[in-house]
Every structure is written in structure tokens, then in C-alpha cells.
Amino acid sequence: MRAVVRPPGLGLRERVHALADGRLENDWKAAIESLDLLRAVGMKARREIDAEFDRLRRALAAPPLLIDPVAEQVLVVSQDAGLRAGLRQALQSAGHAVVEAATPAAATKILQVQGSRVVVLDWADGSEMTALCRSLRQEQGPRVYLLALSRGMDEHSVLSALDAGANDVLSAPVLPQMLIAKIQTGARATRVLAAAEVERSHSQRTQRSLELRNAELLQAAGTDELTGLGNRRALDGYLPMTFAQALSEGHPLACLMFDLDEFKVINDRLGHDVGDQALRAVGLVLRQQSRGMDFVARVGGEEFIMLCPQTGEEAALRIAERIRLAIAAPQPDLPLLSVSVGVAVGAAGYPDAASLIRAADQALLQA
């Protein structure tokens, strides 16, 4: 009787037999076959790895292809039909689309409709061509590539073309290879610039969106969710600045503290929904009765505060009374509401903003 034992991780198809008498017998033939198979597999893997490394070496050794062809629509402006035909043939052979205009006026109309980013100008056509070149450069800036063709290539022609805004000047008749190289360079530059402008526009939109979102978050952080008024955080940010300004300018700053009377009774008897509705009603009156320069916040469960810059005691008392009467007016679906009001006027006479708030709170307790 024999049992087959395969030690884990051996990797060879070696069979070791345990005989009935306890002797071991190695199947050397099977072992040799396994070794041959392993060597064959290893040699194949080695060849594949070598081939991959060779491919990578060739890819790394080869310089990047920088002069990739760029298909572009090219506008050719010339009164010379023969010159236009020659340029058209050369440019189309390089994969460019060609639009022709016999006059600068015709070129202007074409550009208004099609907006070519590469324009070839026959500089022999005189002052109108100079005016077109200058106009295109002023209107489109670097977003258009302007190539001037000069028959004489004299110093005056070259300088006048460059001064009018041409990117480059070529001698006519044109060597096709030179023409195509210039057009490729110009087309690539305008496309890179166009892509950069799109990216910049996208970045600006993203920036504006983030700024708007941040402003919304800041506003939400300083807004009481129930009433839409400012909250304690907003008050803490607004009060010190307003107090310091009033103190430095010598203007009075009135602090009005409001407390909704019997708020706990409203909640207990009529429910929290009615209590919330009452708070919203008080907040609405405060917002409607406040001036543009006033600051209004809900700072506690049923407590509200109004800061009134440049407001003396008499004016503050009139504002408080007007608000009290407006809140007391009957409102649908609500019990009659009333508020207690405490008024304090600074900033002179108070060491800091917090003391002004404490004075208004103390006046509220005595109301």
C-alpha cells in the first residue's frame, strides 16, 4: 500500500512514495521533467521581460515629438489670385483648411463670421493691409497669429509689418516648407493660449463659486436659523467694531434689548410650533422697523437685540416704543404678543462694548 505525499511549496512534481516497509523511493524521472518545464517557463518569462525593458529603453531614449501637426483654418488675404492659389495648395497639402479674401474689407467680414486664428497677409497690398493688421492685433491681441508676406523683404517692409502687429514676415514667393513651419508654430501658439484662457476662465469661475460659497457659509454661521436675523456669533463680530467706531467718532450708540413676554407660557399651552411662529413674528417686526444702519440679532431663546448707531436716548426710546406697539398688534393664528424693552446708550461712559450690553440687559430686567 502506498500514499502520495506532496510537501507544500516544493514547486516540483516530485513524487515521494512511502512504501509499506518504510523505504522512500524518489521518482527522479518526474523530477527531471519538472525541472525542464520550470526552466522553459523561466526562459520564456526572461525573454518577455527583456523585450519589455528594450521597449521602455527605446521609448525613453527617443525625444518627444514637439513638431506635431496642427490642423488650422488659415485666412489668406491678397489681391493676387495666383499667390492665393499657391498658398492654398501648400497649406491644404499640410492638412489646413484655407479661406481666401481678395481685400481687407472682405477679410474683415470673414473674420466676423468664422474667426480664423491664423491670418496670412500680402504686404504688397498697401496701407489697407497695414490697417487690417493693426486692427486685428488691437482687437484680438495674441489670440491671432499674423504672418506677413513681403516680396522685397526690404528693411522698411519688414519693420512696417512688425510695427503693425505681425508676428513674423516671410519673403514671397514662399518656400512651402518654411510657410508650413511658420503656420504650424503660430497655430500651436494660438491654441495653447486659447487653452490657457479657457483654463483661466474656468479657474476664475471656480474661484468665484468658492468665494460665493464661503460667503454663504459665513452668513449661515452668523444667521439665526429660525428668524433669519443675526445670531450671537454675528453680534460678537459686529459689536466691538461698531462700539469702537462710535467711541472714536463721538457718536452715540443705542442698544435695545427685547424679551418676548410669557414665552414659556406660549410654548407650554399652545405648543412649540406656535412658540416658534411667535419668535418669527417678533423677528419680522424688528427687521421691518430697523434702519439700514441698524443691526438686529436673536441672542437667546426669546431675547433679541438691536444696535442703532448714531442714535441718542430720545430717538432710541421712540424706536423701542414703535417696535413694542407693532409687536402688540393682533396677528392671525397667534395670541396677543408683548415685549419688554431695555435701552442703554453709549459708547461714551462705558469702558467697553460688553458693559453697554450689560446696561441694556439690566434695564430690561427693570422694565
Residue 185 has, within 13 A of its CA and on its CB side, a CA count of 10
Q: How many residues does the chain have?
A: 367
Q: Rounded to an integer, what distance in angstroms lies between the CA atom of residue 76 and that of residue 96? A: 12
Asked if residues 269 and 359 have their Cβ atoms less than 8 Å apart, the reply is no
SS3 51: helix
Active site residue 139: no
Q: Is 166 left (phi over 0), alpha (psi -120 to 50) or beta?
A: beta
Q: Give the full edge-to-edge strand order of the sheet including 118-122.
A: 97-101, 73-77, 118-122, 145-150, 168-171
Is the backbone of residue 333 left (phi > 0), alpha (psi -120 to 50) or beta? Answer: left
Rounded distance, CA 278 to CA 263, Å?
A: 9
Pairing of strands 118-122, 168-171: unpaired
Residue 103 makes CB contacts below 8 A (sequence gap 6+) with 77, 79, 128
Q: Which one from 302, 303, 313, 314 is the annotated catalytic residue?
A: 302
Residue 168: name the closest of 123, 227, 102 by CA. 123
Cell of 209: 463659486
d(CA 317, CA 320): 5
Cis ω for the linkage preceding 142 (within 30 of 0): no
Largest Cα–Cα distance in the chain? 121
For residue 348, what are the contacts with CB-CB under 8 A and spacing of at least 6? 247, 250, 252
Catalytic (active-site) positions: 302
